[in-house]
Amino acid sequence: MIGASGTVRRSVRRGWHLVPLSALQAGAMMALLSGAAVFALPVSEVRAQSATDTIQGIAVQGSQRIEPATVRTYVTVREGDPFDPSRIDQSLKNLFGTGLFADVSITRGENNVLVIRVVENPIINRISLEGNDKIKDEDLTKEMQLRPRVVYTRNKVQQDVEKILELYRRKGRFAARVDPKVIELPQNRVDVVFEISEGSPTYVRTINFVGNDSFDDDELRGVVLTREERWWRFLTSNDTYDPDRMNYDRELLRRHYVQNGYADFEVISAVAELAPNRENFYMTFTVKEGPRYRLNKVDLEVAIKDLPRDILEKAVIPQSGDWFNGKAIEDTIDAITDAAGTAGYAFVDINPRVRRNEADKTIDLTFQVQEGPRVFIERVDVKGNVRTLDRVIRREMRLVEGDAFNTARVRRSRERLENLGFFKRETVKIDNAPSDVYPDRTILTATVEEQPTGELSFGVGYSSASGALFDVGVQERNLLGKGQSLGANFSLAQQQMQVNLSFTEPYFLDRRLVAGFDLVASQVDYQSQAGFTSNTLGGTGRVGFQYNEYLFQRFNYQLFVTKLTGLSSFSSQFVREQAGSAVTSQVSQVIGYDRRDNVIDPHNGYYLTLSTDLAGLGGSERYVRGGVGGALYLEPLDGWIFSAAASGTYIVGLGQEVKIYQRSQMGGVTLRGFKDYGASPRDAATFDAVGGDWMATASFQLRVPGLPKESGLKTYLFNDWGVIGPPKDLKRRPGISILDSQKVRGSAGIGVEWTSPVGVITVDYSPFIFNAQPFDQKSRFRINFGQRY
């Protein structure tokens, strides 16, 4: 037996005896015996024995919860074995290694009985976290090892303390402190309390760059994700230090330089120094820019027989004379892969070969297209989803088990997952790894991180269209993790009141059918625009399906009862004739083609829609209406997003006049710079807007970068144009004079959009208004606040 003050040695004359150890040797031996245990070992001894001595029995003392038989299973000696010090020492190590005991001693008792005395570690009754406000209990406990009803050890407590501190460091709180305390209870139980002092956030005071000549510090600070501390960044955490974010910043710097011709760029070091007061970090990136290269020759080598070269050449983005651009090369690889896949060649391998010409600082670039290995999907795994069901994610995947691997479909699958809005966009990843069994198989893993999809909102605000408003609503976009959407909303404003309930099932009957319904009750005051108040009650049933990835069609049936009230002798004669209730029974369809990269915040792509409405299958209204619309989005430079949108609509009454609320109205949302209905045809007698039979509008907008991304602010320049046709049935009636003009009106100005905690706030200012008519109502300043879109 090995004790705290000696070790077992063999003596020829006297058998086994104890020899004193030095302090250093004793410490090393104790560490060896205890492993990671914190408690000190007791002094134990093994009496000297003769070669014929054997163990006559094994007795276990001190065990309470743990059965003696369980203790004996960790002992390497048995009854009848000799008293072997090395085997007894190993038994002692085994018992301490279980983590079940605070103290263990092994001695030789009377009648050659081996006595094992143990002191059990207590059982944890409860774990408490105190003082944590910035991180929730559940977020901390899921990272901790200790749990109620498990064995308590000091080693695990210390590991959990480090885990908690690491979580706070990732939140930018390096001044956090954790003090664990143990409260002893009867029956060898304990309560463990972690007292947390969160401290103040540790902000990044400055970000410095060394070795940069081509881009100044301010430009590079705009490239990295980490931001310097500023008062307006109270809605973001990017101004706190995060080591993972700093590593990402290194990659962002590399991408930035490589996209601008610096093919040899590298980040030499990235250092974050913590101030002595532990309140601020000072970050320094040391870079080596290297020379800037232009492209000399850009070539394409196709080694696949029968694959048309001309199809692939159209996909090559870089051109001779351009600056070297790593992103353009990556985009070209994707484009060539897509083009080859469209041509029926799913297995291609594109290798960009780069040859530097140091003398003239140019690069010869060759895209080598070869037949790649035939790889098929073995299985698709899903990770990171907690609430969302696996099938909701899998049905967005464009690849399933057994399909040929295709990078274009992988990319499209990622886009579809991002468009769901259930997951943080930057966390959606689809990786592939080779199979462990089959060399021609790969395993796809879709990794997501969920974000809140429920919304309970209370808001007050102001809208140029509705005046002061109060809004309360509840919405869940991922109901029960099934991908369904359910929402209810009530809004009360100076000029309108509305209650609505909506439900959408994106995969009706487990098919690619979008089905749902909407129930609406509203009252809208148009007194200032057209001299009436509209009261509407009804609902809509809808179903839609996808022909392919981009082509869709939807059908709606609407049944509404609309009543015009608030009429007076000052209202237009045309409006007074429509007093009372009307029933609208309308069947609609819309067919669209959507190639936007993101439906929520598009940067590139386009969409086209064609719609038709037919009223008259029941109800009291009879008309047919057609519409067309579309938009184009381009990002010629990083952060500069140009959009061009256009729409047109035409309505014809079927044997009766069209109601005023069915006609087109121009101004406000449809044409900035004018009030709602401000550019519509008007009754000359009352000046009330009566609307037009047709309308066409176009809008051009350029989003301008410059404001910090984390602020949620977006600035843009806009230019709107519109033209509206007169109501022909009214023009033909005697006694009614219509003020109208088919001249194209326009406006130009600047706008700001802020995604605030209470909703989207937009402010538009139109200093330039073109071709306004004398009867038009202009509004250069327009604001919407507190409304959800």
- Using the structure block, give the residue that is written with the tokens 């109901």: 479
Q: If you ran DSSP here, which 8-state letter would residue 397 be given?
A: -
Reported confidence tier of residue 208, pLDDT bands at 50, 70, 90: very high
**With helix as H, strand as E and coil as C, how does 377-429 read?**
EEEEEEECCCCCCHHHHHCCCCCCCCCECCHHHHHHHHHHHHHHCCECHHHCE
Residue 485 to residue 475: CA distance in whole angstroms: 7
Query: pLDDT digits over 148-196, tens only?
Result: 988 898 889 999 999 999 898 888 788 889 999 999 999 889 999 999 9
Q: Which two tokens stand for residue 671?
A: 């044409």
| pLDDT confidence of residue 708 | 67
Residue 486 above 70 pLDDT?
yes
Residue 548 to residue 416: CA distance in whole angstroms: 13
Among the residue ranges 72-76, 277-281, 671-675, the one predicted with the least confidence is 277-281
Residue 4 above 50 pLDDT?
no
| pLDDT confidence of residue 561 | 95
Q: At 158, give phi and psi (nearest 5°).
A: -65, -35
Contact 562, 709 (CB under 8 A): no
| Proportion of the chain above pLDDT 90, given as a percent | 39
Q: If you ran DSSP here, which 8-state letter would residue 744 be given?
A: P
Contacts of 207 (CB under 8 A, 6+ apart): 217, 221, 224, 226, 227, 228, 283, 284, 285
Q: How far is CA 50 from the centre of its chain?
A: 73
| pLDDT confidence of residue 102 | 84
| pLDDT confidence of residue 45 | 41
Residue 724 to residue 651: CA distance in whole angstroms: 12
- 476 beta partners: 454, 486
- Signed CA dihedral, 382, 387, 391, 396: sign only: negative
Q: Which two tokens stand for residue 759?
A: 């909703």
| pLDDT confidence of residue 463 | 60
| pLDDT confidence of residue 758 | 55
- Mean predicted confidence (pLDDT) in 22-49: 38
- Using the structure block, give the residue that is written with the tokens 């020899």: 19
- Neighbouring CB atoms inside 10 A of 735's CB total 6
Residue 201 to residue 281: CA distance in whole angstroms: 11
Residue 603 to residue 355: CA distance in whole angstroms: 33
More confident residue, 575 or 444: 444
Choose among 55, 43, 50: nearest CA to 109. 55
Q: Which two tokens stand for residue 395?
A: 């049905």
Residue 717 to residue 701: CA distance in whole angstroms: 6
Residue 410 to residue 396: CA distance in whole angstroms: 11
Q: Which two tokens stand for residue 406?
A: 């295709």
Query: pLDDT digits over 602-652, tens only?
Result: 999 999 999 999 999 889 999 999 999 999 999 988 889 999 999 999 999
Residue 329 above 80 pLDDT?
yes
- Mean predicted confidence (pLDDT) in 254-273: 93
Residue 465 to residue 789: CA distance in whole angstroms: 14
- 417 beta partners: none
Residue 339 to residue 328: CA distance in whole angstroms: 16
Up-side HSE of residue 171: CA atoms within 13 Å toward CB?
Answer: 20
Choose among 169, 226, 227: nearest CA to 198. 169
Query: pLDDT digits over 395-437, tens only?
Result: 889 888 888 888 778 888 888 898 888 888 778 898 888 888 8
Reported confidence tier of residue 746, pLDDT bands at 50, 70, 90: very high
Region at 774 (left for phi over 0; alpha for psi -120 to 50; beta for the rest): alpha
Neighbour order of strands in the sheet with 441-447: 376-383, 441-447, 429-434
- For residue 497, CA distances in Å to 252, 455, 583, 662 come to 48, 21, 20, 19
Choose among 462, 469, 465, 463: nearest CA to 529. 465
Q: Which two tokens stand for residue 311?
A: 């199809």
| pLDDT confidence of residue 462 | 60
Choose among 405, 403, 411: nearest CA to 446. 411
Among the residue ranges 45-59, 243-257, 388-402, 505-519, the one predicted with the least confidence is 45-59
Query: pLDDT digits over 537-548, tens only?
Result: 999 999 998 888
Q: In the chain, how many H helices and how many E strands? A: 14, 37
Choose among 553, 639, 552, 543: nearest CA to 595. 552
Residue 522 to residue 490: CA distance in whole angstroms: 10
- Using the structure block, give the residue that is written with the tokens 């949108």: 645
Q: If you ran DSSP here, which 8-state letter would residue 763 be given?
A: E
Residue 535 to residue 526: CA distance in whole angstroms: 11
- For residue 95, CA distances in Å to 68, 89, 118, 149 come to 12, 10, 9, 20
Residue 354 to residue 367: CA distance in whole angstroms: 9
- Mean predicted confidence (pLDDT) in 701-707: 88
Query: pLDDT digits over 721-738, tens only?
Result: 999 998 888 777 776 788
| pLDDT confidence of residue 785 | 60
Query: pLDDT digits over 438-478, tens only?
Result: 888 889 999 988 888 887 766 666 665 566 777 788 888 88
Up-side HSE of residue 729: CA atoms within 13 Å toward CB?
Answer: 18
Beta-sheet pairing, 15-20 with 467-479: unpaired
Q: pTM above 0.75?
A: no
Residue 382 to residue 433: CA distance in whole angstroms: 13
- For residue 122, CA distances in Å to 86, 154, 207, 706 come to 29, 11, 49, 60
Contact 406, 399 (CB under 8 A): yes
Query: pLDDT digits over 65-80, tens only?
Result: 888 888 889 999 998 8
- Signed CA dihedral, 532, 533, 534, 537: sign only: negative
Neighbour order of strands in the sheet with 113-120: 57-61, 113-120, 101-108
**Alpha helices of 142-242 — where are they, by DSSP H?**
154-170, 217-221
Contact 708, 233 (CB under 8 A): yes
More confident residue, 661 or 406: 661
Q: What angle do CA 36, 39, 45 make, to 5 degrees?
A: 105
- Using the structure block, give the residue that is written with the tokens 């609505």: 500
- For residue 121, CA distances in Å to 62, 73, 89, 141, 658 come to 11, 18, 21, 21, 85
Contact 383, 448 (CB under 8 A): yes
The helix/strand/coil state of 399 is: coil
| pLDDT confidence of residue 14 | 29
Among the residue ranges 31-40, 135-144, 522-531, the one predicted with the least confidence is 31-40
- For residue 312, CA distances in Å to 315, 319, 355, 409 come to 5, 14, 21, 18
| pLDDT confidence of residue 28 | 36
Query: pLDDT digits over 676-697, tens only?
Result: 889 999 988 888 888 999 999 9
